[in-house]
Amino acid sequence: MVGFMILLGGATRLTESGLSIVDWKPFTGLLPPTNQNDWNALFSAYRTSPEFLKINFWMNVEDFKSIYWLEYLHRLWGRLIGVVFLLPFIYFLIRRKIGINLSWKLGGIFLLICLQGLLGWYMVKSGLIDEPYVSQYRLAAHLGLAFIIFGLLFWYSLKCLGQKRHRFKERWLHVSAFTILSCIFITIIWGAFVAGLDAGLTYNTFPFMDGNIVPKDLLNLSPWWINFFENTAAVQFTHRYTAVGTVIFTILFFIFSLRTSINTATSRSIKILVILAVGQMALGVGTLLFEVAMPLGLFHQFGALALFTSSIWVLYHLR
């Protein structure tokens, strides 16, 4: 469910549906509009937003419906995740089916799920004040927390399912696997900055950016470090080459792992990791060249999720 939520969030962003609901009612906003009066009330509220006033002023109620439903589903699915997690968790606590240590960990995950809902509204709110664009900082935080929740759920699932692990003398295997996971996460975060600034709609060539490996306007803003968060050229450059560096490091990790005496399951997980890394880079290049076409954009987000999952799987084997 969390994995689907991440993809649903990507679709909401790509279709620019995220600002269609201008209020947040976490407990009373469960039911969709059921009659024309409901639709008129929602549309009237939307007409006061910067997005309508500056971009979608041409819309009528029927046009509004096309962007409303995806954001509604996104919010509804988030609520369902909370319910599906909380009810069994309470049941297992009452029946004492889980230990104290795991109970605290799962309780922490539930708090993160609640925090994610608040963070989602905090992000949307940034696009309802003056400009019809959400803050790229809040978007990156929202996506990053979604991946953290997914990663924790996957990690504890592996532990609860009793997946066998082996001890390895070569500590560099574990350090390298953790480094790859960190690099993948950083690349994902800068992908959120790319999405937040619509940087994927510029420099749609590879490997060059405006005829250069390093774009001329890389450090246009002052102070210099702000470019890597607010300058489309620097943000896209960072996302590109953290991805390239991650793929190169993953391939080297795979080659050197062949010289160690790892078991079959671990070897298989590393092979899957390197295949996904190369495939994700190819998807990224394709997404860039086709100016973030909807299918490629969604596949690229799915590829990021698959690669992130695979890196956790490898780390679990080597820990």
Contact assessment for residue 202 and residue 291, using Cβ atoms and an 8 Å cutoff: no
Q: 221-244, pLDDT tens digit by residue? A: 999 999 999 999 999 999 999 999
Q: 122-146, pLDDT tens digit by residue? A: 999 999 998 999 999 999 999 999 9
Per DSSP, helices labelled H in the chain are 2-14, 36-46, 50-54, 61-94, 100-125, 136-160, 171-196, 227-230, 232-257, 264-289, 294-318
> For the chain, which residues make up each domain, given as ranges?
1-162, 165-319
Report pLDDT for 164.
67
Evaluate if residue 77 carries a pLDDT over 80.
yes
Contact assessment for residue 316 and residue 158, using Cβ atoms and an 8 Å cutoff: yes
Tell me how far CA of residue 309 lies from CA of 154, 159, 306, in angstroms.
8, 14, 5
Tell me how far CA of residue 180 lies from CA of 26, 107, 229, 284, in angstroms.
37, 28, 22, 18
> If pLDDT is split at 50, 70 and 90, which confidence band does 165 have?
low
Q: 254-309, pLDDT tens digit by residue? A: 999 998 888 888 899 999 999 999 999 999 999 999 999 999 999 999 999 999 99
